[in-house]
């Protein structure tokens, strides 16, 4: 693979912030910066706003993270994502010189308590787009504005285009990807340039006693280990961390490696499993260790005209991420209800525990399916081509409801993203936007022959799978699926 020699700016973390360099402004009100899915310091709009305000006013900054599982409900982070989060927060805290304050509980109550206790003048955060977060954040803004004098500001640090910005000429939203991306995104104002790194702020050490006229602490900061993000019996932690490097610096290193060694030939190579020619930036993007603006800008610096098709293909993958978030914004029920309401009448098969377990553990007797499911279990990740194959096997081979697979991926993927996960499963099931036609049913054997001809991927993850008796007959299950789909 040709080396493109594109230099990507990798943020330096060799000089982390230090407690000894910070000032305890206990007599002055702080500026609060709430970290969420933006665990980085470069091109981080909320962090930059907090730092600039600090330098302008002389106030100290209080950086916080809040784990709010109760508000998330059924969409609280899965086990693999929690492992990634643990290591990402650890890296972020290191880059902040140990000044990150971590809480566990109701985000609205914690923010209100902090703002009232220390008379915070500003609260900054970057927007998230899950329906439960949107509803919760609106209430948080209302309460803070009503009960404090703090200035509240939310910014965009996660998407190239806001979901409400990309619309048709008549003001309606796109429901087909190609039109959304080509006519909507690419015709809209170009994404902003990455924001330069802010100058270092003073840090607020919230360790002093609150004023006597303030209520005592209800929520106290906790240690990272107290969040209980790591599994008691190591499942992903040891294996996952042996193949992943977590954190902002690692994300930029991965982007540089991809542009230099993976972009050439990406359009076709991304489908071939032995080449492993995907960027693997998705978990870094989800947790905000790198921003899409930084990726987009780095790609814009690629000048080799021969890479045009590969560059356009990878940019369109970022477009798919934007499309998924647009769909979730339009249809908050996307993770649970089919966009095509005809599928409310679909006759799904009730999962048999033994059959479902065999799919989950990679014991189906179809080597490509088993390799994908075992890769997922061992690493928290699965090649995108294989994701489509294993999803088709569950939804159209076993005819189990797509939510069964959505839930399993949610628990097992380190890049589990509500918008992407829901939109992708609906696509495979045929009930979503731009969905795969009902008659498109992936044949695991043919997919393996075409995209893993030498069995390199299969031999790595499931070398003995061919000895397992196939749990279903593909031809018979395909006919049954077509019959069920035609009834709609």
Given a cut of 90, is residue 238 above it in pLDDT?
no
Given a cut of 60, is residue 258 above it in pLDDT?
yes
Buried b (16+ CB within 10 A) or exposed e, 226-245: ebebbeeeebbbeebeeebe
What percentage of the chain carries pLDDT values higher than 70?
A: 90
Average pLDDT, integer, range 432-461: 94
Looking at residue 156, its pLDDT comes to: 98
Average pLDDT, integer, range 127-146: 98
- Paired residues of 339 in beta bridges: none
Looking at residue 197, its pLDDT comes to: 85
What superfamily would CATH give domain 16-158?
HUPs (3.40.50.620)
Looking at per-residue pLDDT, the higher value among 317 and 235 belongs to 317
Q: ∠ at Cα 91 (90, 96), nearest 5°?
A: 95
Average pLDDT, integer, range 436-459: 95
Looking at residue 15, its pLDDT comes to: 44
Residue 21 pLDDT level (bands cut at 50, 70, 90)? very low
HEC secondary structure over the chain? CCCCCCCCCCCCCCCCCCHHHCCCCCCCCCEEEEECCCCCCCCCHHHHHHHHHHHHHCCCEEEEEEECHHHHHHHCCCHHHHHHHHHHHHHHHHHCCCCCEEEECCHHHHHHHHHHHCCCCEEEEECCCCHHHHHHHHHHHHHHHHHCCCEEEEECCCCCCCCCCCCCCCCCCCCCHHHHHHHHHCCCCCCCCCCCCCCCCCECCCCCCCCCCCCCCCCCCECHHHHCCCCCCCCCHHHHHCCCCCCHHHHHHHHHHHHHHCCCCHHHHCCCCCCCCCCCCHHHHHCCCCCHHHHHHHHHCCCCHHHHHHHHHHHHHHHHHHHHHHHHHHCCCCCCCCCCHHHHHCCCCCCCHHHHHHHHHCCCCCHHHHHHHHHHHHHCCCCHHHHHHHHHHHHHHCCCCHHHHHHHHHHHCCCCCHHHHHHHHHHHHCCCCCCCCCCCCCCHHHHHHHHCCCCHHHHHHCCCHHHCCCCCCHHHHHHHHHHHHHCC
Q: Where are the domains of the chain?
A: 16-158, 159-193+248-330, 341-486
Looking at residue 9, its pLDDT comes to: 60
Looking at per-residue pLDDT, the higher value among 338 and 216 belongs to 338
Looking at residue 139, its pLDDT comes to: 98
Looking at residue 242, its pLDDT comes to: 77
Rounded to whole angstroms, the Cα distance separating 6 from 3 reads 8
Given a cut of 60, is residue 17 above it in pLDDT?
no
Given a cut of 80, is residue 264 above it in pLDDT?
yes
Rounded to whole angstroms, the Cα distance separating 47 from 30 reads 14
Residue with tokens 């802010």, as numbered in its chain: 198
Cβ pair 144, 115 in contact under 8 A: yes
Average pLDDT, integer, range 411-433: 96
Looking at per-residue pLDDT, the higher value among 208 and 177 belongs to 177
Given a cut of 70, is residue 2 above it in pLDDT?
no
Fold of the domain built from segment(s) 341-486: DNA Cyclobutane Dipyrimidine Photolyase, subunit A; domain 3 (1.10.579)
Given a cut of 90, is residue 103 above it in pLDDT?
yes
- Paired residues of 66 in beta bridges: 103
| Strand 101-104 to 61-67 pairing | parallel
Which of 11-25, 166-180, 218-232 is least confident? 11-25
Given a cut of 90, is residue 43 above it in pLDDT?
yes
pTM above 0.75, yes or no: yes
Looking at residue 239, its pLDDT comes to: 66
Rounded to whole angstroms, the Cα distance separating 98 from 119 reads 23
Phi, psi of 324 (to 5 degrees): -60, -40
Looking at residue 488, its pLDDT comes to: 87
Measured over the CA atoms of residue 82, residue 49, residue 418 and residue 114, the dihedral's sign is: positive
pLDDT tens-digit series, residues 393-414: 999 999 999 999 999 999 999 9
Class of domain 159-193+248-330: mainly alpha
Q: Residue 202: is it exposed, middle or buried by C-beta count within 10 angstroms (0-12/13-18/19+)?
A: buried
Residue 80 pLDDT level (bands cut at 50, 70, 90)? very high
Looking at residue 438, its pLDDT comes to: 82
pLDDT tens-digit series, residues 209-235: 554 444 545 788 999 999 999 987 656
pLDDT tens-digit series, residues 269-312: 999 999 989 999 999 999 999 999 999 999 999 999 999 999 99
Looking at per-residue pLDDT, the higher value among 23 and 352 belongs to 352
Query: What's the whole-number average pLDDT of the chain?
Result: 92
Residue 25 pLDDT level (bands cut at 50, 70, 90)? very low
Measured over the CA atoms of residue 21, residue 220, residue 30 and residue 43, the dihedral's sign is: positive
């Amino acid at each position: 693979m040709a080396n493109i020699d594109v230099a990507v700016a990798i943020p330096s973390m060799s000089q982390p912030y230090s407690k000894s360099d910070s000032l305890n402004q206990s007599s002055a009100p702080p500026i609060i910066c709430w970290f969420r899915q933006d665990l980085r310091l470069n091109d981080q709009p909320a962090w930059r706003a907090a730092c600039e305000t600090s330098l302008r006013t002389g106030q100290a900054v209080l950086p916080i993270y809040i784990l709010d599982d109760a508000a998330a409900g059924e969409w609280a982070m899965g086990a693999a994502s929690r492992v990634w989060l643990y290591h990402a927060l650890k890296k972020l805290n290191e880059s902040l010189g140990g000044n990150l304050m971590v809480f566990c509980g109701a985000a609205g109550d914690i923010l209100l308590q902090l703002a009232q206790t220390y008379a915070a003048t500003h609260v900054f955060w970057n927007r998230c787009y899950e329906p439960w977060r949107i509803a919760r954040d609106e209430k948080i803004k209302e309460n803070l504005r009503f009960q404090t004098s703090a200035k509240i500001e939310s910014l965009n640090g996660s998407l190239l285009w806001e979901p409400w910005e990309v619309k048709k000429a008549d003001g309606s939203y796109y429901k087909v990807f190609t039109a959304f991306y080509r006519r909507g995104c690419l015709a809209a104002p170009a994404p902003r340039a990455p924001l330069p790194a802010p100058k270092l702020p003073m840090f607020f050490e919230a360790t002093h006693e609150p004023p006597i006229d303030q209520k005592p602490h209800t929520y106290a900061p906790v240690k990272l280990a107290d969040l209980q993000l790591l599994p008691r019996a190591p499942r992903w932690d040891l294996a996952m961390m042996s193949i992943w490097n977590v954190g902002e610096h690692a994300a930029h290193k991965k982007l540089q490696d991809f542009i230099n060694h993976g972009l050439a030939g990406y359009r076709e190579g991304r489908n071939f499993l032995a080449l492993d020619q995907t960027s693997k930036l998705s978990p870094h993007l989800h947790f905000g260790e790198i921003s899409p603006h930084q990726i987009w800008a780095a790609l814009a610096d690629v000048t080799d005209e021969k890479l045009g098709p590969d560059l356009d293909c990878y940019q369109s993958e970022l477009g798919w991420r934007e499309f998924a978030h647009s769909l979730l914004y339009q249809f908050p029920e996307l993770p649970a209800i089919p966009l095509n309401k005809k599928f409310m009448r679909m006759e799904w098969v009730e999962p048999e525990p033994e059959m479902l377990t065999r799919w989950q553990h990679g014991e189906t007797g179809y080597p490509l399916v088993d390799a994908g499911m075992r890769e997922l279990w061992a690493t928290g990740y699965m090649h995108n081509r294989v994701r489509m194959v294993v999803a088709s096997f569950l939804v159209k081979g076993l005819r189990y409801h797509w939510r069964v697979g959505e839930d399993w991926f949610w628990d097992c993927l380190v890049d589990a993203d509500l918008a992407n996960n829901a939109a992708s499963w609906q696509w495979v099931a045929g009930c979503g936007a731009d969905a795969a036609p009902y008659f498109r049913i992936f044949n695991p054997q043919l997919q393996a022959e075409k995209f893993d001809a030498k069995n390199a991927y299969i031999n790595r993850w499931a070398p003995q799978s061919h000895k397992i008796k196939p749990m279903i007959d593909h031809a018979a299950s395909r006919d049954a699926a077509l019959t069920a789909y035609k009834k709609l």
